[in-house]
Amino acid sequence: MLDKHSFSNAVPSRFWRALRMSACAFVFLNILPIPSACAASRLKDIVNFEGVRDNMLVGYGLVVGLNGTGDSLTNAPFTARSLIGMLERLGINSSSDFSTIKTKNIAAVMVTATLPPFSAQGSRVDVTVSTMGDAKSLQGGTLLVTPLQGADGEIYAVAQGSVASGFSATGASGTSITKGVPTSGRIAAGAIVEREVKFKLSDLSTIRLSLRNPDFTTSKRVADAINAYAKMPVASAADSATVKLAVPDARRGDLVGFMTEIEQLKVVPDEVARVVIDEQSGIIVMGEGVKINTVAIAQGNLTIKINETPQVSQAAPFALGGKTIVTSQSTVNVDEGSGKRMAMLGGVNLQDLVQSLNALGIGPRDMIQILQSIKAAGALQADLEVM
């Protein structure tokens, strides 16, 4: 058995040199910063598949069991008509004179729901209930059976159940507290699907992918990513918002598996340089591709500050007819922004732009005006969207 010294003598010296070089290379690679990958997104996050979509449902119904917070039937005649019609359908003859009905425990509501794609009969969906009349609260109410229709007029679900809503309470002295929205509520799993949407995914020979943010570059990248994965030209960019995908014959029997593999592909989406401004809140959001040509900026405001200092003027002791008078002394300060200088920006990226504007001591409100002025001067190479 060789010891350490005999082993080092037995091994050629070029082996140790190669080993030391490999160790140095390993340390060097671990010290160097690894460049960060681009912000690639999955296809399922940037596109929608044709036919795989939600469907909006709407219906008109009545909520009963309210504690005197329902509609005033004199102010909401449609509620009274609905109540009379419901009672007659149940075999109860009621007077058609609205003035004889004094209840305030019922409210007319609009019921809305979203039917997810491929929803089967018997599955349940959530519904939202909102008042139509002058009802004050839906707390404690129960929605009666309400058919929910689609855009084609067909009934796809039926809703019923207890409404969960906010509440409002008022004290004897007029103090009130409100939590949530009392006139709107939800019923979790409150609708049962009665009809399925007629759509068979397996019958599709061509799938259309719709980009959520249309862009020609992104559309081309999506098609290239799919073709590279399928190893055949099965996808093509039809326009900035649509990519056509021909299903290969070998995957016709496993279309769901094929779409699962496609939606996991990574693509770096592109976008138009845009600056979004919300003047009400002073929020400014700038995209990565925002560029500014050479431009000089000077920002200065004229500020006039007036301070009023009250002073007391008192007469001398034992003075005849002397009075104590309160006078005010005014101090006026004028700031013409003389300490602020003109700054020049040119060919800067987003990070340089933000740092330069912050170096000028510019607040969000003034920055909005500056960006609008730069855009008016033709130096801002981006779309300016004011909300």
- Residue 9 domain-assigned? no
**218 falls within a domain:** yes
Q: For residue 182, give Cα distances in angstroms to 21, 134, 135, 142.
A: 74, 12, 9, 14
Taking Cα atoms as reference points, which of 134, 185, 197, 136 lies closest to residue 159? Answer: 185
The answer to the question of residue 109 being in a domain is yes
* 373 or 265, greater pLDDT: 265
- Domain boundary among the residues 140, 161, 193 is at 193
* Residue that finishes a domain, picked among 193, 226, 246: 193
**Residue 117 in contact with residue 200, Cβ under 8 Å?**
no
In-domain check, residue 13: no
Does pLDDT of 242 surpass 50? yes
**What one-character-per-residue DSSP string does 327-376 give?**
EEEEEEEEE--TT---EEE-SB-HHHHHHHHHHTT--HHHHHHHHHHHHH
The overall longest dimension of the chain from CA atoms, in Å, is 125
How many residues can be counted in the chain?
387
Domain boundary pick from 193, 228, 256: 193
* 119-138 mean pLDDT: 94
pLDDT band, residue 11 (cuts 50/70/90): very low
Q: Which of 9-18, 217-226, 373-382 is the least confident region?
A: 9-18
CA distance 292 to 160: 58
156 and 283 in a single domain? The answer is no
Cα atoms in the 13 Å half-sphere on the side-chain side of 53: 13
Phi, psi angles (nearest 5°) of residue 63? -110, 125
Each residue of 362-380: pLDDT tens digit?
Answer: 777 777 888 888 888 888 8
Average pLDDT over residues 298-315: 60
Q: Is the pLDDT of residue 330 over 70?
A: no
Rounded Cα distance between 58 and 75, Å, is: 24
pTM: 0.66
Q: Are residues 180 and 285 in the same domain?
A: no
Question: Do 118 and 232 belong to one domain?
Answer: no
Pairing of strands 274-278, 383-386: parallel
Say if residue 385's pLDDT is above 70. Answer: yes
Residues 62, 224 contacting (CB under 8 angstroms)? no
Place of tokens 């009621």: 94
Instruction: Give the model's confidence band at 50: pLDDT under 50 very low, under 70 low, under 90 confident, else very high.
Output: confident
β-pair partners for 131: 109
Structural domain span for residue 127? 55-169+176-193
Does residue 184 sit in the same domain as residue 246? Answer: no
DSSP state for residue 382 in the 8-state scheme: S
| 220/214 Cα distance (integer angstroms) | 11
Q: Determine the 3-state secondary structure of 293 from DSSP.
A: coil
* pLDDT value for 99: 64
Number of domains in the chain: 3
pLDDT score, position 207: 92
Residues 269-297: what's their mean pLDDT? 81
Tokens of 298: 């000077």
Q: Name the residue type at position 165.
A: S
Residue 365 falls inside a structural domain: yes
Cα 57 from Cα 151, distance rounded (Å): 7
SS3 91: coil
The answer to the question of residue 313 being in a domain is: no
Residue 173 predicted with pLDDT over 90: no
**Is the domain of 161 the same as that of 219?**
no
In terms of pLDDT, which residue wins out, 332 or 153? 153
Whether residue 182 sits in one domain with residue 61: yes
Q: What pLDDT, on a 0 to 100 scale, did the predictor assign at position 38?
A: 53
> Do 163 and 216 belong to one domain?
no
Looking at the fold, whether 133 and 205 belong to one and the same domain comes out as no
CA–CA dist 211, 222 (Å, integer): 9
- Shared-domain flag, residues 187 and 122: yes
- Asked if residue 24 belongs to a domain, the reply is no
Say yes or no: 286 and 354 in one domain: yes
> Which two tokens mark 356?
């330069």
User: Band of the pLDDT at 6, cuts 50, 70, 90?
Assistant: very low
Residue whose C-alpha is closest to residue 78's, from 61, 64, 65: 61
* Cβ contact 94:84 at 8 Å: yes
143 and 208 both lie in a single domain: no
Average pLDDT of the chain is 79
Place of tokens 């008109």: 60
For residue 6 the two structure tokens come to 């005999």
Q: What average pLDDT score do residues 36-53 get?
A: 82
Question: Are the CB atoms for 70 and 106 separated by under 8 Å?
Answer: yes
